[in-house]
Amino acid sequence: MARVCLIYPRDIGLNFFPLGIGYIAAYLAQKGHQVRILDITQSELKLLLELPRSEVDIIGLSITTPQLALAQNIIHLLREHFPGTPIVVGGIHPSYFKETFLDENDADYLVYGEGEVTMDELCQAIDRGGTQIKDIQGVVYRQGSKSVINPPRPVIGDINQLPLPLREAVNYSAYLQPPGLIRGIWTQRCANLTTSRGCPGQCSYCGVNYIYGRRYRRRSVDNVLAEIDILVERYNVDGLYFMDDTFLLNTNWVEEFCHKLVQRNYCLRWSCYGRVDTIRESMIEAAKQAGCVQIEFGIESGSPAILKRIKKGTSLEQIQAAVNMAHDHGIRALGSFIIGFAEDTEEECQETVELAGKLGLDFTTCYYATPYPGSQIYEEAVKNDCLLEHDFSKWYVRTPNIWRVKLTPEKLVKNRLALLKSCRLRNSIFFMRSPSLMFRMAWLLATHPVALARSILDSMRNRCFDDLGYYFYTHLEGGLGGRNL
Ligand code: B12
Ligand code: SF4
């Protein structure tokens, strides 16, 4: 069996436990491999040099598009310090670029799609001397100067069979530091987890289905509760952040889960993502009783025409009803909007700005439409030769000129600022209602002057001081360290 080191390139300061790597690690450990996890920012790259060379047979890296630049730096360093050690890449970015990734980057193998079973089979094959790799579904490998793409692997049918993410491979308490993940709520130890894979939606800007497909697979209620038992008993958590793309789906499941969670009497407070068209009164009532304090809705637009074009499948009535329903049950409603899809007109953007102003959300975010690889709009942008920025390291959902759209960057900036302005008071109240978050922000600002200066420059460059906090966290690099053992 192989000794595997899985690396998570952490490009943002946010302290989420990397669940993808955690699941791969758990599956490999279950199959008898020895696994360690390294979660590193750019400024922590020296940790790579501390890895004992003789104890690592295979290195795996998890890569989404925002993580690409840091991942490339890591691969470069690994090649110098671990010559001859096979490097495997996985995650949505290499999965999408499976035809070209190995040619353009110095990695040996690529696992595309859902990674657990493929990575185990690949590690076993490498351990046996590299034979039979051609028979492993979901792998891309090099043969001479070309990449060979093996057939895809079907997704795992019953995800209850997967072992729980290997949190014990890291200093997990460091991921639970205050202010926790539920913004503005006093949870001291908040854990992230996921209960499902895939999403039945087909939003044109989203890449989720590229990895998991449209079939929604959900763990059983008891399987999820067993994970929560461990989180409470072993790590003493008091908050949960469900990272499912759509947690509030299937009323029966949510209600059963909530009722059983209440019986546990853990008094946890939790947050989740929801679609405005799948929530139901009884579901929200049960969620409230079980400790739900916050629902994040992807609202995206106030224009019915845009909602249709991006295949969101929701209506303005459903949006308002969902926000009201959350509020009626004392649950905070957060919403995110997107401005600047290819065909958006000025009038349609105005409708979005107006809706954001009147919805009464507790916290509002707004980004520019960004055609991430894996999404339908990326395919269209490439086909129509609309990409203006080809260097992924410059891609920010807060940068208005990644691709050419109908509206000029100036108009996009103007509309986004107008939207954020209309929500600034509520956003500020939301932020200020969290003393722990305020205290921590003030402390970080004072102790990281370089990150502060760089974030002010970024805000000026992108003409939006609402984003100062985001840029600051982005530049924090290692300031929230201590995650690795
Ligand atoms: C939670 C989440 C976040 C969180 C936390 C992210 C984090 N770093 O942990 C927050 C809110 C911070 C976030 C932010 C953003 N996110 Co996000 N996020 C997600 C979400 C919903 C879940 C991620 C997750 O935990 N998945 C569960 C695990 C189990 O799946 P997984 O990581 O994909 O891993 C599996 C496979 O990919 C593969 N695999 C992964 N790594 C490896 C490594 C090896 C070696 C192998 C063999 C296999 C393998 O095997 C794993 C198990 O099967 C995903 C959507 C999704 N469902 O994945 C989007 C997603 C990853 N995010 C996305 C985007 C665009 C963003 C933002 C740019 C959005 C924004 N508005 O700012 C930012 C960028 C942040 C950043 N710089 O990284 C896109 C990425 C698209 C792309 N091409 O890269 C996704 C896919 C959603 C989408 N709309 O398309 N995100
Ligand atoms: S944006 Fe949300 S609802 Fe739409 S496909 Fe992606 S995960 Fe599903």
Q: Which ligand is nearest to the CA of 246?
A: 2
Q: Assess whether the C-beta atom of 231 lies below 6 angstroms from ligand 2.
A: no
Separation CA 216–CA 405 (nearest Å): 32
Q: Which ligand is nearest to the CA of 37?
A: 1
Separation CA 166–CA 464 (nearest Å): 39
- C-alpha 243 to ligand 1 mean position (Å): 10
Separation CA 158–CA 215 (nearest Å): 12
Q: Assess whether the C-beta atom of 86 lies below 6 angstroms from ligand 1.
A: no
- Strands 239-242 and 269-274 turn out to be parallel
Looking at the domain that runs over 3-149, which CATH code has it been given? 3.40.50.280
**pLDDT by position in tens, the chain (length 485):** 999 999 999 987 677 899 999 999 999 999 999 999 999 988 788 889 888 888 999 999 999 999 999 999 999 999 999 999 999 999 999 999 999 999 999 999 999 999 999 999 999 999 999 889 999 999 999 998 899 999 999 999 999 999 999 999 999 998 987 656 676 677 779 999 999 999 999 999 999 888 887 889 999 999 999 999 999 999 999 999 999 999 999 999 999 999 999 999 999 999 999 999 999 999 999 999 999 999 999 999 999 999 999 999 999 999 999 999 999 999 999 999 999 999 999 999 999 999 999 999 999 999 999 999 999 999 999 999 999 999 998 887 778 889 999 999 999 999 999 999 999 889 888 877 766 667 777 887 888 888 888 888 888 877 777 778 777 877 775 444 455 54
- Strands 139-143 and 109-111 turn out to be antiparallel
Q: Can you tell me which residue has the tokens 């351990």?
A: 127
- C-alpha 12 to ligand 1 mean position (Å): 12
Separation CA 331–CA 319 (nearest Å): 15
Separation CA 48–CA 243 (nearest Å): 29
Q: Assess whether the C-beta atom of 249 lies below 6 angstroms from ligand 2.
A: no
Please, which residues bridge with residue 300 across strands?
Answer: 337
DSSP state, residue 368? E
Query: Beta-carbon neighbour count of residue 320 at 10 Å?
Result: 16
Q: Can you tell me which residue has the tokens 């002010």?
A: 456
Q: Assess whether the C-beta atom of 302 lies below 6 angstroms from ligand 1.
A: no
Domain ranges of the chain: 3-149, 176-433, 438-485
Q: What is the distance between the terminal CA atoms of the chain, rounded to a whole angstrom? A: 23
Please, which residues bridge with residue 365 across strands?
Answer: 336
Separation CA 51–CA 44 (nearest Å): 12
- C-alpha 66 to ligand 1 mean position (Å): 9
Q: Assess whether the C-beta atom of 338 lies below 6 angstroms from ligand 2.
A: no
- C-alpha 88 to ligand 1 mean position (Å): 18
Whether the CA torsion 439, 188, 363, 376 is positive or negative: it is: positive
CA atoms within 13 A of residue 312's CA, in its CB half-sphere: 26
Helix (H) or strand (E) holding 350: helix 346-359
Record the pTM. Answer: 0.94
Helices (H) and strands (E) in the chain, counts: 18, 15
Q: Can you tell me which residue has the tokens 């909530």?
A: 258
Confirm if 301 and 310 have CB atoms less than 8 A apart: yes
Looking at the domain that runs over 176-433, which CATH code has it been given? 3.80.30.20
Q: Which ligand is nearest to the CA of 312?
A: 2
Q: Which ligand is nearest to the CA of 276?
A: 2
- C-alpha 138 to ligand 2 mean position (Å): 24
